[in-house]
Amino acid sequence: MLPLANESCWCGSGRKYKRCHKPLEGRVLKGVVSPMRSVPDHIEKPPYALTGQVRRRSESAVKSPDVIARMRRAGAVAAEVLRLAGAKVKPGITTEEIDVYVHELCIARGAYPSPLNYQNFPKSVCTSVNEVICHGIPDSRELLEGDIVNLDVTCFLDGVHGDTNATFAVGNISDEDQRLIQVTEECMWLGIETVKPNVPLCEIGRAIETHAKKLRYGVVKAFIGHGIGEQFHTDVQILHYYEPRNNMLMQPVMTFTIEPMITIGSDKHRMWDDEWTAVTIDGKRTAQFEHTVLVTDEGFEVLTAPNAVSPKSPFSN
């Protein structure tokens, strides 16, 4: 039997149940996280896969033609895995089941699911439900009609990463949530459309923030886009709000992600005690979209565009 609100919590913390484990009305309930899955030996693994420790190396922001060719393939695989996983989203499926599916889809395409053991992240995809801003850990919780869920897929193939995410509706959702998802995707595209050589990186954030603020949404500042290539995260920082000091100029053959997180209420977060799951402080909902982009001579190329067809796709799943 659960304790009453003012009784001490069942977990032994000594705190009142209502101040400890009592689930808040309407908030996402944490489920059980299953043991880490393994990846077959024939799949090439990033250096952190064994240890869980990420050691950053210096990596040029501009890439060689060979790296770009490989990033197109990794990006195409990530895009396809995201599309297939998104098609599984419906009431009753658990985020754990989505994780298993993503894990197998990556392996079937010769890719390593980049989140797995990245700084000890225990699963192969991030699944962020409702008020979860990002880095939700797949668990035994079933998706419920009316939820929204972000799936953040990153694939490591041929020594490079492709990173993309989208927010999906679980069955019928409210107009308010539908609008949040739509505006968030618009914000991502407005950010992407600024990408062109000699434009300062801060123009990305300016475009995103201007659109969100006009429609009275919040922009999360604590999590940002990043350079990407042979490493999942490099030191290039992509802010989703306007910060004029972020004035490095975009150059041809740079690669980075644009991944705005937009909120209905507060843009501030707190962490669950799993030290991964970031939720809005007020429990209001949030959405995110992400692409990996390449700066070209004329503008941009989206490396994780959904129309890209990955090498093995006709023969697997």
The site for Co ion (CB under 5 A) is made up of 152, 163, 165, 257, 290
Contact 243, 205 (CB under 8 A): yes
Closest approach, Cβ 257 to Co ion, in A, equals: 4
Which strand (E) or helix (H) includes residue 91? none
Nearest of 175, 102, 97, 178 to residue 143 by alpha carbon: 97
* 198 vs 10: CA distance, rounded Å: 58
Q: Is the dihedral of CA 13, 16, 17, 21 positive or negative?
A: negative
Alpha carbon of 91 to those of 5, 16, 170, 253: distances in Å? 30, 33, 6, 41
List the single partner that 230 binds among Co ion, ligand MF3, none, CB under 5 to 8 Å by kind.
none
Interaction of residue 231 with ligand MF3, rule CB under 6 A: no
Residue 126 vs 212, nearer CB to Co ion:
126
The two tokens of residue 242 are 């306007």
Residue 121 vs 300, nearer CB to ligand MF3:
121
Q: 298 Cβ partners below 8 Å, 6+ apart? A: 196
Residue 94 vs 114, nearer CB to Co ion:
114
Interaction of residue 188 with ligand MF3, rule CB under 6 A: no
Contact 288, 261 (CB under 8 A): yes
The two tokens of residue 47 are 């250096």
The two tokens of residue 244 are 């004029």
Residue 147 vs 152, nearer CB to ligand MF3:
152
Interaction of residue 115 with ligand MF3, rule CB under 6 A: yes
Q: Is the dihedral of CA 289, 295, 296, 298 positive or negative?
A: positive
List the single partner that 291 binds among ligand MF3, Co ion, none, CB under 5 to 8 Å by kind.
none
Stretch 162-181 residues interacting with ligand MF3 (CB under 6 A): 163
Residue 17 vs 156, nearer CB to ligand MF3:
156
Stretch 247-286 residues interacting with ligand MF3 (CB under 6 A): 257, 259
Q: 48 Cβ partners below 8 Å, 6+ apart? A: 54, 55, 117, 118, 119
Closest approach, Cβ 240 to ligand MF3, in A, equals: 12
Sketch the per residue contact string, 286 through 315, with ligand MF3: x for CB under 6 A, - otherwise.
Answer: ----x-------------------------
Closest approach, Cβ 13 to ligand MF3, in A, equals: 27
Contact 156, 114 (CB under 8 A): yes
List the single partner that 115 binds among ligand MF3, Co ion, none, CB under 5 to 8 Å by kind.
ligand MF3
Residues in the chain: 317
Interaction of residue 119 with ligand MF3, rule CB under 6 A: yes
Residue 48 vs 217, nearer CB to ligand MF3:
48
* 16 vs 165: CA distance, rounded Å: 38
Sketch the per residue contact string, 132 through 161, with ligand MF3: x for CB under 6 A, - otherwise.
Answer: ---x----------------x-x-------
Residues that bind ligand MF3 (CB under 6 A): 115, 118-119, 121, 126, 135, 152, 154, 163, 226, 257, 259, 290
